[in-house]
């Protein structure tokens, strides 16, 4: 992330106000200031990014998008408890 030159994109489920999350947002902001195309996708319901931090990120060029997954008959939740890197859930098309 620190050496990104062209693009830096990430998707994050639960964003808190903890040191690690805020450090990641700082790195995104610094990349945008360097001219890197940055985009951060966060869950619209479970994100606690302070409004001041979000405003600053937008002011330096970080693109953000809040996403709320919509469940339909074409989508099912997949238990990922056996996955090596354990996200809380995965979305899968039938």
What pLDDT, on a 0 to 100 scale, did the predictor assign at position 75? Answer: 44
* Mean pLDDT calculated for residue range 50-69: 89
Q: What is the pLDDT of residue 76?
A: 46
Are 63 and 39 within 8 A, CB to CB? yes
For residue 2, tell me if it sits in a domain.
no
Least reliable range by pLDDT among 10-24, 39-53, 65-79:
65-79
Tens-digit pLDDT profile for residues 75-87? 444 444 443 433 4
For residue 1, being part of any structural domain is answered with: no
29/49 Cα distance (integer angstroms): 13
Q: What is the pLDDT of residue 70?
A: 57
Q: Read off the pTM.
A: 0.66
Q: How confident is the model at residue 36 (pLDDT cuts 50, 70, 90)?
A: very high
CATH number of the domain at 13, please.
Answer: 3.40.50
In a domain, 30, yes or no: yes
Q: Which domain range does residue 57 map to? A: 7-93
């Amino acid at each position: 992330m620190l050496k990104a030159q062209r693009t830096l994109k990430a998707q994050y489920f639960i964003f808190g106000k903890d040191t690690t999350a805020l450090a990641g947002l700082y790195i995104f902001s610094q990349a945008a200031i360097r001219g890197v195309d940055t985009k951060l996708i966060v869950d619209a319901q479970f994100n606690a990014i302070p409004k001041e931090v979000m405003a600053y990120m937008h002011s330096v060029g970080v693109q953000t998008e809040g996403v709320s997954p919509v469940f339909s008959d074409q989508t099912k939740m997949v238990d990922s408890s056996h996955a090596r890197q354990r996200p809380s859930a995965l979305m899968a098309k039938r």
